Structure 1
Amino acid sequence: MTAAVFYKLLAIFLTVGVGWVAGRLRWLDSGADARDPARVLGNAAFTIFVPALLFRTTARLDFAALPWRIIAAFFVPAVLYALAVYVWQRRRAQPDTTPAAPAARMVTASFGNSVQLGIPMATALFGEPGLAIHITLVSLHALILLTLPTVLVEMDLARAQPGPRDIAATLRSTVRNTLVHPVVLPVVAGIAWNLAGLPLPAVLDETLAALGSAVVPVCLVLIGLSLAYYGVQGQWRGALQLSALKLVVLPAVVVAIAHWGFGLADLPLAVVVLMAALPTGSNALIFAQRYDTGATEATAAIVVSTLLFVLSASAWLGVLTLLG
Structure 2
Amino acid sequence: MSIDVLFKLLGLFTVIVIGWGASRAGVFRSPDASKVLSNAAFLVFGPALLFRTTARMDFAAPPVQMLIAFFAPALLWMAVVRWVARRRRPAHPARPAVLAVTLGFGNSVQLGIPMAATVFGDAGLQLHLAIVSLHALLLLSLGTAWAELDVAHARAQAQGRRPTLGRTLLTTARHALIHPVVLPVLLGLGWNALALPLPVLLDDGLQLLGQGMVPLCLLLIGVALDEYGLRDGWRGALATSVLKLFVMPAFIGAVAVGLFGLSGLPLSVVVLAAALPVGSNPLLFAHRYGTMEARTTATIVLSTAAYVLAAPFWLWVLGQWAR
Q: TM-score, normalised by structure 1?
A: 0.96
> For 1:237-256, what aligned pairs fall within 5 Å after superposition?
237-256=235-254
Find the counterpart in structure 2 of residue 228 from structure 1: 226
Cα offsets for 1:194-238 (capped at 9, x unmatched): 111212112111111111111110001100000112212221111
**Structure 1 runs not aligned, ≥5 long:** none
In structure 1, what residue type is equivalent to 2:250? Answer: A
Find the counterpart in structure 1 of residue 60 from structure 2: 64
Q: Is 1:164 aligned to residue 168 of structure 2?
A: no
In structure 2, what residue type is equivalent to 1:165? Answer: R
In structure 2, what residue type is equivalent to 1:83? Answer: A
Q: Is 1:44 aligned to residue 40 of structure 2?
A: yes
| CA-CA distance at 1:62 after TM superposition | 2.0
| CA-CA distance at 1:166 after TM superposition | 4.9
Q: Is 1:105 aligned to residue 99 of structure 2?
A: yes
Query: Percent identical across equivalent pairs?
Result: 52
> d(CA) in 2 for partners of 1:108 and 1:93?
18
> d(CA) in 1 for partners of 2:45 and 2:197?
21
> d(CA) in 2 for partners of 1:307 and 1:166?
43
Shifted more, 34-43 versus 7-16: the winner is 34-43
SS of residue paired to 1:262: coil
> d(CA) in 2 for partners of 1:171 and 1:260?
35
> For 1:54-203, what aligned pairs fall within 5 Å after superposition?
54-94=50-90, 97-161=91-155, 162=158, 163-167=160-164, 168-203=166-201
SS of residue paired to 2:249: helix
SS of residue paired to 2:290: coil
SS of residue paired to 1:71: helix
SS of residue paired to 2:60: helix
Find the counterpart in structure 2 of residue 204 from structure 1: 202
> d(CA) in 1 for partners of 2:196 and 2:303?
40
Contact in 1 for aligned 2:217/2:280 (Cα 8 Å): yes
> d(CA) in 1 for partners of 2:169 and 2:252?
33
> d(CA) in 2 for partners of 1:311 and 1:166?
47
Contact in 1 for aligned 2:232/2:294 (Cα 8 Å): no
| CA-CA distance at 1:116 after TM superposition | 0.7
> d(CA) in 1 for partners of 2:199 and 2:66?
31
SS of residue paired to 1:146: helix
In structure 2, what residue type is equivalent to 1:302? Answer: I
> d(CA) in 1 for partners of 2:229 and 2:162?
38
Find the counterpart in structure 1 of residue 261 from structure 2: 263
SS of residue paired to 1:27: coil
> d(CA) in 1 for partners of 2:15 and 2:99?
24
SS of residue paired to 1:113: coil
| Alignment partner of 1:275 out of 268, 273, 276 | 273
Cα offsets for 1:165-203 (capped at 9, x unmatched): 352332221110000000000111111111112121121
Shifted more, 37-46 versus 200-209: the winner is 200-209
**Structure 2 runs not aligned, ≥5 long:** none
SS of residue paired to 1:312: helix
Contact in 1 for aligned 2:104/2:139 (Cα 8 Å): yes
In structure 2, what residue type is equivalent to 1:195? Answer: A
In structure 2, what residue type is equivalent to 1:51? Answer: P
Cα offsets for 1:249-302 (capped at 9, x unmatched): 110111111122212211111111100000000111110000000001000000
Q: Is 1:17 aligned to residue 17 of structure 2?
A: yes
Moved beyond 6 Å, runs of 4+: none
| CA-CA distance at 1:63 after TM superposition | 1.9
